[in-house]
A and B are shown apart, each in its own frame.
Chain A
Amino acid sequence: MAFENLTERLSKAMKNLTGRGRVSEEDLRATMREIRLALLEADVNYDTVKKFVANVREKASGADILEGLNPAQQVVKIVNDELTKTMGEEAVPLNKSPKIPTIIMMAGLQGAGKTTTVAKLAYKLKKEENARPILIAADVYRPAAIDQLEILGRDLEIPVFQLGTSVNPRDIVRQGLAKAAENKNDYVFIDTAGRLQIDDVLMQELKDVADIAHPDEILLTVDAMTGQNAAETAKGFSAALDLTGVVLTKLDGDTRGGAALSIRDVTGKPIKFVGQGEKPTDLDVFYPDRMASRILGMGDVLTLIEKAQRDFDEEAQAKQLEKMRQNTFDFNDFVAQLKQVQSMGPMEDLLKMIPGMANNPALANVNIDAKQFSHLEAIVSSMTPAEREDPDLINPSRRRRLAAGAGRPIVEVNRMIKQFDQMRKMMNQATNGNFGGIDKMMGGSGMNMSSMMGGGGMPSGNFGQKVQNFAIKQAARRLQKAKKKRGKK
């Protein structure tokens, strides 16, 4: 996931300060140098770095403001605030036109991800607001760019307007807008060709398109892996166009994400969305505060919760809860639940959103094999409908058949069924209001998780449990600390 290296370096920089009663000028200078290098190494624009460091230094040296925080915590807080500030304080929503349609135009270099973003954003609006978007294919230069948009539109069931490659993009946009008005589409997306900000002819074309369409939103698409050149690109585009926002793409790579930090500072335009994956759903609203705490390795629980809420089908969830209560939780529900967890994204990424997890060395080299989930699914798929609904039916002979059917060793089948039984028991306890056993459940479900995934590539059998225990311990420690502090006051 992005930012890992930056997170690591920043926490190393600030580690020097922990455990000290007061921070001397010398300590502060060393720390600031480390922070500066960390940011430069992460491709943050050097002017931005200069400003950032100057601001933090100024605030830190004049700080005995907050009681209850030790100097190190205070510096962390200042850095956190400054990061948030640099990235723009608050999430900025999409501009919307008071009357339909809202016109959204894309701009950016070649290969930044404009077409993909158009599809993702249109799909997001369609899903969340029941919108009726239309996509205008105005990239007549890159071979097959129109095909790409058409295929995406077909897959996502969003109409695409195109006139082939021999028509001037200005005319395509004109006619596309007429078409949208005719169809009463509420969102119009204009996908433009990638271009260099120094290409005068193509930039003029972009200006003309903007004059024709009067877009409510002009989004600059920037690759999160861009280096120092991000500033140049952003400046070039914002000089030619009235940009309203930025979309940062490919943030699922292992980039240190300097562009995320510099772009707001350089352009003064807010980052509105971030693309973090190849699926059409992998586009998220950008929250500067959450991003800042993620960069500092403090986790991002809010996003985790939101992800869970968005990706979990509420109805299915309610049904499952009901089934748990009645103790009729069966393998069908088990698979449904697995799928829901999977749809939230890679396990590693989810784990790292839990506070204290991003920097946990135990997680550094974890690669949870996505196939483990499909193995479990295969075993369930090998069951007869009767077996799925009545797990008690499964005797050793049936288990052998399941193993053969799923192509997995029989121990795996046994393990899974055992865990399933445990899970069912615990759910029963919990839902019947017996929360005394909740500690047991935590441990138990932890074990469940771990051995569910632990068959193959995991470092140790009950790894999941370790992770959970660790998280719980950390949370408990934090609670105690907070209590003590309050006690002192």
Chain B
Amino acid sequence: MPVAGLREMAWIFLRIGNLTFGGGDPIMAAFQRELVERRRWLSADQYALAFALARVTPGTNVLAFCAAVGWFLRGWLGAFIAVPAATVPSGLLVIALTAAYEELQGMRLAAGAIGGLLAAAVGMMVAAAWNLIRPRLVAGNRLRIAVLTLGALLLLLGFSVSPLVVLGLGAAAGALWTGPLAERQMREPS
């Protein structure tokens, strides 16, 4: 496989990481086209490993994915270039948007637009929660997911349990009460 040039690599992470709308999955798909199919810097196996591990790495999945791909391409240096390249420009834009929000709050028309954005963000947060559990609501797994999700909601709202404790309880409950998918895999070790 051809070796990735650092500058070219940085440019790709800059471009794909900051110009792809829609969050992690479209970004990772764009990397697949660019690095695996077009440039052949990354093997399909490496891509698959980065993709799978990113889902189980804490934090933002797509950034973990970038770290792994950068590391595959050029070691630690590659990772330390890839992650900031994919994050800093859109981060700067977020800073500018937040500063603009503080400036514009007093203006009537802008306040209207901001009101619309805030309401949409509320819908977005609930949608994010729903999209997180929806693919897991398969036959035999629904009760488990419902109990875990509603249990967490109740522990925070009704009993003010610290979110970190609730997440820990979720991990323990998930490990002890395994879902149908995991059990199937346990019976048929690959």
A binds B: no
- B-contacting residues of A (Cβ < 8 Å)? none
- A-contacting residues of B (Cβ < 8 Å)? none
